[in-house]
Amino acid sequence: MQILKSVKEMQEHALELRREGKRVAFVPTMGYLHAGHESLIEEAARRGDSVVVSIFVNPTQFGPSEDFRTYPRDLDHDLAVCERNGVDVAFVPAADEMYPSDYSTFVEEERLSAGMCGVSRPSMFRGVCTVLVQLFNIVFPDVAIFGQKDAQQVAVVRKMVRDLHFKVEVVASPTMREQDGLAMSSRNSYLNEFERGDAAQIYQALLKGKAVPDSGQLSADRVLAEIMHHLRQYRRLRVIYVHVVDKDTLEPLREVKPGKTLVATAVWCDEVRLIDNIEL
Amino acid sequence: MQILKSVKEMQEHALELRREGKRVAFVPTMGYLHAGHESLIEEAARRGDSVVVSIFVNPTQFGPSEDFRTYPRDLDHDLAVCERNGVDVAFVPAADEMYPSDYSTFVEEERLSAGMCGVSRPSMFRGVCTVLVQLFNIVFPDVAIFGQKDAQQVAVVRKMVRDLHFKVEVVASPTMREQDGLAMSSRNSYLNEFERGDAAQIYQALLKGKAVPDSGQLSADRVLAEIMHHLRQYRRLRVIYVHVVDKDTLEPLREVKPGKTLVATAVWCDEVRLIDNIEL
């Protein structure tokens, strides 16, 4: 496995791969890799000849009161995970090459980014789009793999790629879960054992919501009510939102369209902000 | 000469050129081509194996009260100019492919765009950056040629390309002028013969300004005063700004740094907004 740290090296290596006609599959990450990331890397290996994983905690997608400083980092562990999973290139750029002190260019998707997590984290998707445009211009991927756990991010990135005509296929890979159903996330490391128990109820709540259309009742209100009712029983959980939306446009739906609908939630578990979603 | 109208055709052709190892030189235009554009095309031919010219009046770089609807258009003339100048591909995209009705992604350079023309035309550079990211992702140029007449645009584009790591060389080509010195612009077609006479004084004023450091006096204030004094003698001209700035950062300067300084102006000539600049 190659470990590349400079933008120039990575660009040259990526162009060389293209000249060789290799299909480049890219997994952008913020590191602290877990089994969810490993499944993205496996998906990348299935879809490309060469797998590039970037490890970069992107400062522009954190708000001023968010956890950029405390976000978990463990590069040695991450490189071992990459190596073990057959990654060809780990790209670990320096912050001052991605965002030099005079940095001033930002990319913003304005429609799909506005609701859901965009309400309480207004700069997050702008940071995500900005760093991805940089990374796409450095790695020149044919395909980029994202976790379906970040469903709104997937929809925003798809839209940004389409609007800006990037020649990159965007693939969403299924959410990986702990045994109790909790969606895997680097931020789960913030949870103590009591919080961990309540956090697992987020997925249980989503399953209760899913049972509604599964039993033939398509009203979005009923889905939301079931989920809210379940979540309110756990005292460490406070709901930020639960939305039933079209899975591509993220427009709120009155009625579930089976196979085209997402129910997504963001919840505070004490001081830890967790998100999850499932398809209906 | 090939005339390509769809994004997909242009992307495929551009990728084919890359596979053949050809160097692609790109001239993005809004059409109504004049001798200034021809000089950009000549520069492109010197710098690339294949010259691509885009012709697209970009709606997002016009403000709501600006001249998008009345901007001069003459595609037959433009294609003839391209053909005559040995252009390989004229790319003439449809507006609804560049900006479908649900379009929602924008690229903004926030620092160099803020002053000068960005004050009275706050959305212009956002529109320019957005369409250029699209075009770069469709044409995959090695080098892109811009007119030095739009000096702030050149600086903003250079910054955007650097910040987002586009692998595109940005070249500024010297301003072409009419015999009386008026900088060539598609918008000059708006001027009647009386306005045309006053408009030519903009360049004369810049030359008066340039005479100041040429005679050894480096104070930016003196340069500005000379230019203002000259412009005010022509009753159709109203000054929007005159700035002495660093030619790369566009930061205002107190003292002229010879070879690294730009004096730039925007002037209303009756109802026509004209810009010009020269290096000091």
pLDDT tens-digit profile of A56-93? 999 999 999 899 999 999 999 999 999 999 999 999 99
Please indicate if any CB of chain B lies within 8 Å of the CB of A150: no
Which residues of chain A carry a pLDDT beneath 50? none
For residue A22, the model assigns a pLDDT of 96
Q: Pairing between strand A105-109 and A143-147?
A: unpaired
pLDDT score of A262: 97
Which DSSP category does A234 fall into?
S
Q: Give the full edge-to-edge strand order of the sheet including B50-55.
A: B2-4, B89-91, B50-55, B24-29, B143-147, B169-173
Q: Taking all residues of chain B, what is their mean pLDDT, rounded to a whole number?
A: 97
State how far the Cα of B229 lies from the Cα of B233, in Å rounded to an integer.
7
Contact B170, B161 (CB under 8 A): yes
Dist. CA B188–CA B168, nearest whole Å:
30
From chain B, pick out residues whose CB is under 8 angstroms from the CB of A164: 105, 107, 130, 133-134, 137
User: Inter-axis angle of helices A220-231 and A193-214, to 10 degrees?
Assistant: 160
A7 — contact with chain B (CB < 8 Å)? yes
List residues bridging with B2 in a β-sheet: B89
Residue in this structure with the two tokens 């463990």, named with its chain if needed: A74
Are A97 and A7 spatial neighbours (Cβ–Cβ below 8 Å)? yes
CB contacts < 8 A, A to B, total: 79
CB contact under 8 A, A163 and B104: yes
CA distance B177 to chain A (A): 32
Interface residue B111 vs chain A (CB under 8 A): yes
Q: Which residues of B touch A138 (CB under 8 A)?
A: 165
Query: What structural domains does chain A harbor?
Result: 2-173 (3.40.50.620), 186-279 (3.30.1300.10)
The answer to whether the CB atoms of A103 and B129 lie below 8 A apart is no
Work out the minimum CA distance from B178 to partner chain A, whole angstroms. Answer: 35
Take residue A258 and report the two structure tokens written for it.
Answer: 């089976």
Residue B130 pLDDT > 90: yes
Task: Give the tokens for residue A184.
Answer: 């895997």
Q: Is A121 left (phi over 0), alpha (psi -120 to 50) or beta?
A: beta
Q: Distance (Å, rounded) from C-alpha A24 to C-alpha A43? A: 12
* Separation in Å, CA of B102 to nearest CA in chain A: 9
B111/A109 Cβ within 8 A: no
In tens, the pLDDT along B164-214 reads: 999 999 999 999 999 999 999 999 999 999 999 999 999 999 999 999 999
Give the pLDDT of residue B19. 86
Q: Pick from B102, B112, B165: which is nearest to A134 by CB?
A: B165
Neighbours of A56 (CB within 10 A): 18
Provide the edge-to-edge strand list for the sheet that holds A89-91.
A2-4, A89-91, A50-55, A24-29, A143-147, A169-173
Tell me what pLDDT residue B217 has. Answer: 97
Structure ipTM: 0.95
Task: Determine contact, residues B263/B210, Cβ cutoff 8 Å.
Answer: yes
Q: With bands split at pLDDT 50, 70 and 90, how would you rate the model's confidence at B153?
A: very high
pLDDT of residue B127: 98
- CA pair distance B151, B172, nearest whole angstrom: 8
Phi, psi of A19 (to 5 degrees): -60, -35
Q: Is A13 a catalytic residue?
A: no
The token duo for B135 is 């075009």
Q: Six-digit token pair at B222?
A: 């003196």
Instruction: Determine which of A20, A104, A159 to mutate to test the interface with B (most B C-beta atoms within 10 Å).
Output: A104
Q: Give the global pTM.
A: 0.96
Cα separation of B167 and B161, whole Å?
Answer: 8
Exposed (0-12), middle (13-18) or buried (19+): which is A165, by Cβ within 10 Å? buried
* Alpha-carbon gap, residue A264 to A241, rounded angstroms: 8
Over residues A180-206, the pLDDT tens digits come to 999 999 999 999 999 999 999 999 999
* Residues 6+ away with beta carbon under 8 Å from A220: A244, A252, A253, A254, A255, A256
Q: How far apart are CA B92 and CA B95, in angstroms?
A: 9
